[in-house]
Amino acid sequence: MPEYLAPGVYVEEVSFRARTIEGVDTTTAGFIGPCRYGPVAGAPVLLESLSAFVDRYGDAQPLRFGADGNAVAVTDLYHAVASFFAQGGRRLFVSRVYRPVDGGPPPDLAAALPPAGAVDGHARLRVGTTPGFRVVARHPGRLGNLQLQFGVRLGANRLQAGSPVLSDGDVVWISSAAARLPAPATGNTPPTAARGLRELPLYVARRDAAGAWTFTGSLAPAGAPPGATRFALADFGLNAAPGSGDLLSPVSLSLDVQTAEGRALATWQDLSPDPARPADVAQPGLLASFALTLPESLPAAEGAMRLVALLNGSAPGQDLLQDGIDLLAALQSLGMSLQITPAEWAASGQQELVTLRRKFEQGLLAVGLLTGGHDGLLPDEAAYAGRPAAEGVAPRGLGQLGAVDGIATVAAPGLGRTGRYTPSELLAINRQLVAHAEGRRGCMALIDPPEGVLPGEVVSWRGAFDTSHAALYYPWLQIADPAGGPPLTLPPSGPLAGIYARNDQAVGVHKSPANQVLRGILGFERVLTLRDQELLNPAGINGLRFFEGRGNLVWGARTLSADPEWKYVQVRRYVDFLFRSIDLGTQWAVFEPNGEALWSNVRRCVQDFLLTQWQSGALLGTKPEQAYFVQCDRTTMSPDDLAHGRLRLLIGVALLKPAEFVVVRVGQQTAVA
């Protein structure tokens, strides 16, 4: 109790309401499989649209497995995600599995930095030689063979009033109207050889602690001491009057990232060429500045979508860009040409420095293509198993989905595609998926049968499973090819996960996700008949059928369990829903005094929750007493339980089962006058 020592009025806040339990979400799905790009480690991010998936994991273009990249494979994960959202799904997590061509586990980006040997699947580009830097695709995959366009341009003249101030490390062009290059070219024809960057009036601006500016460069202004490379602003004798022709303009860098086919992915403007400038990290999409030297820091950014990592010397002894002029010199190796054309020469009045300045003002372009990106080998059992999250270790494979709470359905679309896995490999990976679902309360695995099998064959194949935490749907679907080709076959797990979510949103998890229309499909790989389903249904295989006038429907509601108590999908999922909701909603009771007051509060809390469930039609019975009971008193706890701090709560619920067989009996009767 509060302690009152001084006389007075004490106003206290109290609650007269019982604790409440909120129902947990059951609409979140998790998919695992290979795709064109994206992270292969770390906790996955929530995806709420197909476009979000494409931005992070790539499009529908086929995968190319194998050391030579000639094993073309349908990107089943993309089509499954597209159908998931088309069916009404809203929340999805994806785990990308990847297996490098050397057969080992995919490396972290920190291990992918060495430029030699691209067997890890990361695309790379070496820019310049000495000095130089490297560009590494953020993630492995053929989609990482990106096209980079570096743009270089002069900014506003900082001598003019109202112009922005310089920043420490800026590369600036400084020239007066009377300035000339050493040994300038003359005559009616432009110089045949292009100037080097260090022959131009380019300087690195530095500001000391006292605020004084110095400018470092190879081209000394007139009147500077012989051999000097660092100059004060006064050494240039600039005239800030408008129209003087004197110039002090910073050089800015832009970067356009495109696919190898030229589709724009991202653009960054006004980047500083200073390799030591960390401010550019704040711009989404760039991993770090060019001066990044500690690869240990790279995996920390794994959770964010990054297109490329721009790296400059990740180990001692490697080339390092000392300043922005080094960077510009490296870009010359990508075709950033300072060659003067006859038209440019004539337009400048045959003045070499004016011509080169105009080229910088109009903008220079350097283009490079990352190569070596590879889709790797077909992921095996170890790639799907991955590894769980641990301190300092990013999860992979199923461990990525395990790092997310609240995933209600999991699927591995495309495992059963013809020719992809042997029967034993297919069973092994599917058993991993089922074990993952069984190990996480409230999760259902959606298993795909092998593509093209007959009803009798799928019944035999189903015999390898006996679990209430998995459901099997048959046959495969047919969808339109986004590229305009022949129809594609689609494993049913992706769209069924979307139907589960749609059903839960519209009615609730207590209703079976059956008799639901499959949206946006052309049909099925095989047309099931009534006799086919008489074979499939008793085996717990849910048929997908076409009905004239009603469309393509989900026509089954069973799990893969041989236990009649857990025969139906809605029973398994609703019990898991109750378990998780009550588990989370009663956490407040831990460490409370274990007595009558606590027991009463817990009973009331759970009873109120179950009453709401009954009122919404989720439980069987005409009154609450028929629908559920809650016991938490001395009849559920022994003296030993109390002595050891155990509170035991006993809950019983009358579950609804689906009306799987609707029997209508019609007979004749004699008319009564």
Q: Which of 143, 109, 123, 116 is nearest to 370 (CA)?
A: 123
pLDDT higher than threshold 60 for residue 303 = no
The alpha carbon dihedral of 22, 26, 27, 32 has a sign of positive
Q: What distance in Å separates the CA atoms of residue 135 and residue 200, rounded to the nearest whole number?
A: 26
pLDDT for residue 305: 42
Q: What distance in Å separates the CA atoms of residue 404 and residue 25, rounded to the nearest whole number?
A: 13
Confidence label for 177 from pLDDT (cuts 50, 70 and 90):
confident
pLDDT for residue 673: 64
Count the alpha carbons within 13 Å of 157 in the hemisphere toward its beta carbon. Answer: 17
Residues with Cβ within 8 Å of 85's Cβ and at least 6 positions away in sequence, in order, are 49, 50, 92, 498
Q: Which run of H or E residues covers position 534?
A: helix 530-536
Residues with Cβ within 8 Å of 494's Cβ and at least 6 positions away in sequence, in order, are 31, 76, 79, 80, 81, 83, 84, 411, 413
pLDDT higher than threshold 60 for residue 534 = yes
**What HEC string does 443-502 produce?**
CEEEECCCCCCCHHHHHHHHCCCCECCEEEEECCEEECCCCCCCCEEECCHHHHHHHHHH
Identity at 584, one-letter amino acid code: L
Confidence label for 109 from pLDDT (cuts 50, 70 and 90):
low
Residues with Cβ within 8 Å of 662's Cβ and at least 6 positions away in sequence, in order, are none
Q: What percent of the chain has pLDDT over 90?
A: 55
pLDDT for residue 514: 96
pLDDT tens-digit map of 225-284: 888 889 988 888 888 888 788 889 999 888 888 888 888 877 778 888 877 665 444 444
Confidence label for 389 from pLDDT (cuts 50, 70 and 90):
confident
CA 60 to chain centroid, in Å, comes to 16
Q: What distance in Å separates the CA atoms of residue 517 and residue 515, rounded to the nearest whole number?
A: 7
Q: What distance in Å separates the CA atoms of residue 526 and residue 539, rounded to the nearest whole number?
A: 18
Cα–Cα distances in angstroms (integers) from residue 343 to residues 125, 181, 347, in the given order? 33, 20, 6
Beta strand extents in 289-369 (DSSP E only) = 308-311, 364-369
CA dihedral 227→230→231→232, nearest 10 degrees, is -150
Residues with Cβ within 8 Å of 666's Cβ and at least 6 positions away in sequence, in order, are none
Q: What distance in Å separates the CA atoms of residue 524 and residue 551, rounded to the nearest whole number?
A: 11
**Cβ density class 126-148: b for 16+ within 10 Å, e for less:** ebbeebbbbbbbbbbbbbbbbbb
CA 469 to chain centroid, in Å, comes to 26
- Residues, the chain, total? 673
Instruction: State the chain's mean pLDDT as an integer.
Output: 87
Q: What distance in Å separates the CA atoms of residue 127 and residue 326, rounded to the nearest whole number?
A: 11
Q: Which of 560, 528, 522 is nearest to 541 (CA)?
A: 560
Identity at 342, one-letter amino acid code: P
* Average pLDDT score over residue span 438-459: 95
More confident residue, 329 or 130: 329
Q: Are 440 and 470 in contact (CB under 8 A)?
A: no
Q: Are 395 and 41 in contact (CB under 8 A)?
A: yes
Q: Which of 125-129, 347-351, 505-509, 545-549 is least confident?
A: 347-351
Residues with Cβ within 8 Å of 206's Cβ and at least 6 positions away in sequence, in order, are 168, 169, 213, 214, 215, 216
pLDDT higher than threshold 60 for residue 110 = no
Q: Are 499 and 518 in contact (CB under 8 A)?
A: yes
Residues with Cβ within 8 Å of 513's Cβ and at least 6 positions away in sequence, in order, are 496, 499, 500, 503, 504, 554, 557, 569, 570
pLDDT tens-digit map of 553-584: 999 999 999 999 999 999 999 999 999 999 99
Q: What distance in Å separates the CA atoms of residue 179 and residue 223, rounded to the nearest whole number?
A: 12
At 216, list the tokens.
Answer: 């470092």
pLDDT for residue 301: 38
**Ordered domains of the chain (ranges, CATH):** 28-34+72-98+377-571 (3.40.50.11780), 598-673 (no CATH)
Q: Are 378 and 420 in contact (CB under 8 A)?
A: yes
At 561, list the tokens.
Answer: 């369990």
**Strand, coil or helix: what is 305?**
coil
pLDDT for residue 595: 95
Neighbouring CB atoms inside 10 A of 394's CB total: 21
pLDDT tens-digit map of 582-634: 999 999 999 999 999 999 999 999 999 999 999 999 999 999 999 999 999 99
pLDDT tens-digit map of 86-97: 999 999 999 999
CA 15 to chain centroid, in Å, comes to 43
* Global pTM value: 0.86
Q: Transcribe 185-210 into DSSP letters.
A: --SSS--SSPPPGGGSSEEEEEE-TT
Identity at 85, one-letter amino acid code: F
Neighbouring CB atoms inside 10 A of 370's CB total: 22
At 617, list the tokens.
Answer: 């039609």
Residue 413 Rama label (left phi>0; alpha psi -120 to 50; beta): beta
Q: Are 305 and 294 in contact (CB under 8 A)?
A: no
Residue with tokens 């460069």: 217
* Average pLDDT score over residue span 49-78: 91
What angle, rounded to 10 degrees, do the helices at 76-87 and 493-506 form? Answer: 20
At 583, list the tokens.
Answer: 């588990």
Angle at 120 between CA 115 and CA 123, to 5 degrees: 55
